Amino acid sequence: MPSYRAYPVSKNRQVCATPPVVIVCEDEQDGLRQAQQLVEDFDIELWDGPRFVARLKSLQEPKGSH
């Protein structure tokens, strides 16, 4: 089974925490669905080893913007 890495990304576009969340899934679409469940206050970047897969955007509005 493939595994992907999900990294939280801060509003200033820096990785917030390590180690990343490891997602074991059936395929890339399943990995994206699982990563979407991790999105809360921060964007999530999904990686397949060195290959960038997607950036899933938080629905939270950055503080101080209207």
Q: What is the pLDDT of residues 2-50, one digit of tens each?
A: 899 999 987 777 777 667 899 999 999 999 999 999 998 889 999 999 9
Q: H-helix or E-strand containing 47?
A: strand 43-48
- Residue 15: the pLDDT is 72
Phi, psi of 11 (to 5 degrees): -65, -25
pTM for this prediction: 0.79
SS3 29: helix
- Residue 44: the pLDDT is 93
- Residue 12: the pLDDT is 73
- Indicate whether 66 pLDDT > 70: no
**Residue spans per domain, the chain:** 3-56
Phi, psi of 3 (to 5 degrees): -135, 145
Work out the average pLDDT over 47-54: 94
